[in-house]
Amino acid sequence: MRELWLGTNNAKKRAELERILRPFGLALRTPAELGVPYEPVEDRPDFAGNAHAKAALLARLAHGFALADDSGLCVDALDGRPGVHSARYGGPGLDDRGRLLTLLRELDGVPPPRRTAHFTCSLCLCGPDGSVLAAIERECPGTLLTAPTGDGGFGYDPIFVPSEFAGDPAHTFARLDAATKDRLSHRGQALRALAERLPALLARQG
């Protein structure tokens, strides 16, 4: 069975990746199994650059195939923030809830028609030498609520309503079942697009 290393230390993100990739018959490995530190520097100006940096580092450390993503929330009223800084927004020491509340404070007073946003996910698959085998980016548009709704998901999921459920606050990413979220989400779209090519990409590498 072909091994694929997943380039994330975020347990909830890793669970999403594993759930979507499980049907493809891969042995999924995580950085915790490396035996050496996996500490990628996410200092690139875009999602694709960060995904590449993470995947290339892990592929070289593991001497295997590695898949990494970089994703985040881009808010129109904030000129695209938090964007690539989504996981670190508001400064050090904040957890998911703290970052979400920071964002809501910045959006205080912004009316519903202007609370548009989209999630972006960039995926990068690298071979054992760190070379890029595939790079894919997908977006999921939606709107942001004024208060969190739902206990599922992670990050900004409790305030994000995908466009398919526009106007219905009961359908934040944090309240959707896993199958529905995977169908609509930026990460689900990107992984399905990659999965169509994955067997051929891995087979070509022997």
pLDDT of the residue at 197: 82
Q: Where are the domains of the chain?
A: 3-204
pLDDT of the residue at 1: 58
Annotated catalytic residue 70: yes
Q: What is the dihedral of CA 11, 145, 87, 150, to 10 degrees?
A: -20
pLDDT of the residue at 17: 83
Rg (CA), the chain: 17
Query: Beta partners for 103?
Result: none
Cα 206 from Cα 201, distance rounded (Å): 9
pLDDT of the residue at 19: 83
Query: And the tokens for 99?
Result: 């970052």
Task: Choose among 30, 58, 36: nearest CA to 128.
Answer: 58
pLDDT of the residue at 45: 94
pTM reported for the whole predicted model: 0.90
pLDDT of the residue at 169: 85
Kindly report the CATH class assigned to 3-204. alpha beta
pLDDT < 70 positions in the chain: 1, 204-206
Query: And the tokens for 144?
Result: 């942001």
The residue annotated as part of the active site, out of 43, 46, 70, 79, is 70
Task: Choose among 30, 189, 181: nearest CA to 121.
Answer: 189
